[in-house]
Amino acid sequence: MKRWEMDAPGRERLRLKTVALPEPRPGEVRVKVAAVSLNFRDKGAIESGVGPSQPFPFTPASDMAGVVTDVGEGVTRFAVGDRVISTFNPGRLDGPGPGSARRPPYVMLGGSHPGVLAEYVAFPADWFVKAPATLDAAEASTLPCAGLTAWTALVEYGPVRPGQTVLVQGTGGVALFGLQLARAMGADVFVTSGSDDKLARAKALGATHVIHREREDWVEAVYRLTEDRGVDHILELVGGAHLGRSLEAVALHGRISVIGVFEGFTVTGSSAPLILKEPTVRGIHVGHRRSLEELVRGVDRLGLKPVIDRRYGLEELPAALEHLDRGAFGKIVVESH
């Protein structure tokens, strides 16, 4: 079978190797991978690694959909033929998962654990959940990280209420899932972007208001559009000092979910809105398996269709990564046939 591997950090070290089919050990299943959804995090893992625990040879990527082809001894969770998707944080069944204050959990496929850019993987059955019935493999592969991150922020922690307002920054995978979920929960959704084209597509997807962040101060736009009330939920997808803008834009007792790190790994903001408006600021580290199962059920019931910007073949990974460099509208998926 084919598998992408690298022997050291660096995009140029990626090779599509031919390797032996992995055998499922007791408690494991072998899954034929049909689609892999790429995340920005994958670029970092490929280019500079994710820390001392990253194994080499290294196969990148965490999010996949496929079909169970073999089950190891003692597996009752799945049967051959089941359509499944992976969990981003293997072993995080509920709550925060294992880890400590000193060593926060940083465990993921295509990082501390082997990745999924391969024709087959063999992993513990506990690392998978049933795929939604209403999505094809490419669509289903976008749930484990992008979909679940938005769900954790807006449903598991947030519960958005009808009539509330939600703001998402940009039009990447988490942002568009946030837009779709918040609309499905009866919220008004604001989308910011620097591209007229992307704003038009967000509007077509259901955004209530779109804000071109270069033509207008987005916080002032929020004040204008909400009669100064601010927005109830913000997906802070930019990060860094941008948190300070979100603190200005958030409504009294609102919620800011900190997800992105595009503007650096130090968040900053003014104390005054943080103290006087008493918003809840909470980081989001994807989510747990119970939530992913709820998201799968929710997607099926809602008929929610994840937005895929473009699909590539397994051998086209370099082109897919270049697309990721340029920025996508929603997700980029690598399919294997």
C-alpha atoms less than 13 angstroms from C-alpha of 20 in its C-beta half-sphere: 3
Identify which of residues 55 and 104 has a Cβ nearer to a copy of itself in the complex.
104
- Work out how close the CB of 35 gets to a copy of itself at its nearest, in angstroms, rounded to a whole number: 22
Identify which of residues 6 and 222 has a Cβ nearer to a copy of itself in the complex.
222
Identify which of residues 3 and 178 has a Cβ nearer to a copy of itself in the complex.
178
- Supply 259's token pair: 């997800």
Identify which of residues 21 and 302 has a Cβ nearer to a copy of itself in the complex.
302
- Work out how close the CB of 71 gets to a copy of itself at its nearest, in angstroms, rounded to a whole number: 16
Sign (positive or negative) of CA dihedral 218, 219, 225, 226 = positive
Identify which of residues 81 and 162 has a Cβ nearer to a copy of itself in the complex.
162
Amino acid at the residue 4: W
Nearest-angstrom CA–CA distance, 67 and 91 = 20
- Supply 43's token pair: 């670029």
Q: What is the CA radius of gyration of the chain?
A: 20
Nearest-angstrom CA–CA distance, 294 and 163 = 23
Q: Is-contact 108 90, C-beta < 8 A?
A: yes
- Work out how close the CB of 183 gets to a copy of itself at its nearest, in angstroms, rounded to a whole number: 9
- Work out how close the CB of 242 gets to a copy of itself at its nearest, in angstroms, rounded to a whole number: 11
Q: Is-contact 332 323, C-beta < 8 A?
A: yes
- Work out how close the CB of 305 gets to a copy of itself at its nearest, in angstroms, rounded to a whole number: 14
